[in-house]
Each structure stands twice: as C-alpha cells, then as structure tokens.
C-alpha cells in the first residue's frame, strides 16, 4: 500500500477505513538526546507526525508497523498504542485543501480526505542512526527534531507527542527491553543515561543502581576493562526470561 503520489492517495479513499487514521510518535535516542521524527508538509511551514490510513482488510497493528517501516526503513520495532484522538475539531480541512490546491489536484466538497478523522496513536523508540527518514506523499521532507524545540505542528500533534512521552516515561521500567536502545551488553552508567534523557532529569547514581537491580531484569556478565582493573565497571544485559512484557 505504498503510494507514489498524493493523487493516488486521494483516488484510493474507498480502499481505506473511513475517517480513521494512524499517527506514529517515533522517538530517536542517540548520544543522550531524545528526538522526534517529523514530516514537513508540502508547500507549508507546518510539520506532522508520520501517519497514514488503514486498509479495509488490514489489521490496525499491521498498519502501524507498515507506516513506521515506510517512514524509517525499520522493521521488527517495538510499537505501543498509547491513545485515541477524536475531538470534533482536531482536524482542519483547510490545511488539506491548501495542499491539494498547491499540488493542482481537483477535489469536491465531499472528498473523504477533508472529513473529520479519528486518529490512533502509536509510539516507538529507536536508535536514530539506524533510521532512513523518508517523506510520505503529503510531505516534502522527513527529519529528526529536538524533542525540546519542536517546530509548528499540525492539528493536535503536539498533544500527541506530549501524551506519548508521558506514557513512555510511565512504562519505561517495564518496556525498556523492547526498545532496543542499548547494545547487547552495557554499563549501569549507560543505562542511567537512557533514563536521564527520557525523564529529562538527573538521577542519583546509587539510588538508580539499587532500583534497577531490584527490578530483576538485569544479568551481570563481566567487567568492562579499559583502564585499571579496580576502575572497570560491570557489564549487564537484559534477562529476557524475567523481564516483564
């Protein structure tokens, strides 16, 4: 269901579930920074979350995975549904009208794309170095943006990002192993860096280590040698047999 032009999407409206869409909040973690993948709309200074529509015979979860793969080039990525957004005034038909007109695509007042949409939100957290940002047919570009300095966003997408971040922080202890944020083995300091980046706060080292060890999700493997042996930190890995799902 990969379309090559906006006109193709407009003409394929009958093949989608009516007035239902998916938006993906894709967080990228790298070098102690948290970024969000955004698409800039054609002929506009507004940005939007990577999103798309659901085929008539397509599972909703499969549609979310497809959209993520089309925008990032990644598969086998952990996705979590975090909310449904259906406020009556959440969309603005004029935004799509301007895009259609700028692209020279004729439309009528009852075009499916201009109607009210309910959106299902999913979030993912990935290593942004592995992502190949790819714009969709509504966008001129697709790129990472600092989560603390976001550009003007379409519709209620700013609220979506905020809710996804709240959910990510709430579920971090239980879902961390699914995000593939760290190499197979890592130090406690590297794990603490992930937490501090996502929570946007400094954590006390001994308290953090005590908490993580109490969760029963880590397995200590060996020392990481880089200097004197007395300074070498322990390496850990996730114990997937005991990690909560």
Residues 34 and 104 in one domain: yes
Residues 86 and 203 in one domain: no
Confidence (pLDDT) at 78 = 84
- List pLDDT tens digits, range 206-229: 999 999 999 989 999 976 665 555
Give the burial string for 165-196 (b: 16+ CB within 10 Å, else e): bebbeeeeeebbbbbbbbeebbbbebbbbbbe
Confidence (pLDDT) at 109 = 92
Residue 193 maps to which CATH number? 1.10.10.10
Residue 244 counted as domain residue: no
Residue 205 counted as domain residue: yes
Residues 194 and 100 in one domain: no
The structure tokens listed for 233 are 């930190």
Residue 133 counted as domain residue: yes
Residues 86 and 133 in one domain: yes
Residues 159 and 231 in one domain: no
**Boundaries of domain holding 84:** 6-178
The structure tokens listed for 72 are 């990032």
Confidence (pLDDT) at 245 = 46
Confidence (pLDDT) at 228 = 58
Residue 95 maps to which CATH number? 3.90.79.10
| Predicted TM-score (pTM) of this structure | 0.89
Residues 113 and 207 in one domain: no
62, with CB counted inside 10 A (0-12, 13-18, 19+), is exposed
Residues 111 and 170 in one domain: yes
Confidence (pLDDT) at 242 = 55
> Of the residues 178, 193, 228, which one is the last residue of a structural domain?
178
**Number of compact structural domains in the chain:** 2
* Beta carbons within 8 Å of 186's beta carbon, 6+ residues apart: 235, 236, 237
Residues 193 and 141 in one domain: no
Residues 131 and 40 in one domain: yes
Low-confidence ranges of the chain (pLDDT < 70): 1, 223-231, 240, 242-245
- List pLDDT tens digits, range 159-199: 999 999 999 999 888 888 777 788 889 999 999 999 999 99
Residues 101 and 215 in one domain: no
Please report which helix (H) or strand (E) contains residue 126, including its range.
strand 118-127
Find the largest Cα–Cα distance for the chain. Answer: 73
Residues 171 and 69 in one domain: yes
Residue 72 counted as domain residue: yes
Residues 144 and 209 in one domain: no
> Of the residues 178, 196, 218, which one is the last residue of a structural domain?
178
Residue 243 counted as domain residue: no
> Of the residues 149, 178, 207, which one is the last residue of a structural domain?
178
Which backbone phi and psi does 2 adopt, to 5 degrees?
-90, 115
């Amino acid at each position: 269901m990969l379309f090559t032009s906006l006109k193709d999407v407009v003409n394929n409206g009958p093949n989608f579930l009516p007035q239902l869409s998916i938006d993906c909040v894709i967080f990228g973690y790298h070098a102690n920074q948290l970024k969000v993948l955004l698409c800039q709309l054609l002929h506009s200074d507004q940005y939007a979350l990577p999103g798309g529509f659901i085929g008539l015979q397509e599972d909703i979860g499969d549609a979310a995975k497809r959209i993520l793969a089309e925008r990032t080039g990644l598969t086998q990525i952990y996705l979590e549904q975090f909310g449904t957004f259906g406020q009556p005034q959440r969309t603005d038909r004029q935004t799509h009208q301007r895009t259609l007109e700028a692209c020279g695509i004729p439309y009528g007042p009852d075009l499916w794309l201009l109607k009210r949409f309910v959106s299902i939100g999913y979030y993912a957290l990935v290593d942004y170095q592995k992502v190949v940002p790819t714009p969709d047919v509504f966008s001129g570009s697709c790129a990472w943006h600092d989560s603390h300095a976001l550009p003007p966003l379409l519709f209620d997408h700013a609220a979506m990002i905020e809710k996804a971040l709240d959910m990510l922080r709430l579920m971090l202890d239980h879902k961390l192993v699914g995000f593939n944020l760290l190499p197979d083995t890592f130090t406690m300091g590297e794990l603490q860096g992930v937490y501090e980046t996502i929570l946007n706060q400094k954590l006390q080292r001994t308290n953090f280590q005590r908490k993580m060890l109490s969760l029963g999700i880590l397995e200590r493997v060996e020392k990481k040698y880089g200097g004197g042996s007395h300074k070498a930190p322990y390496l850990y890995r996730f114990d997937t047999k005991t990690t909560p799902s």
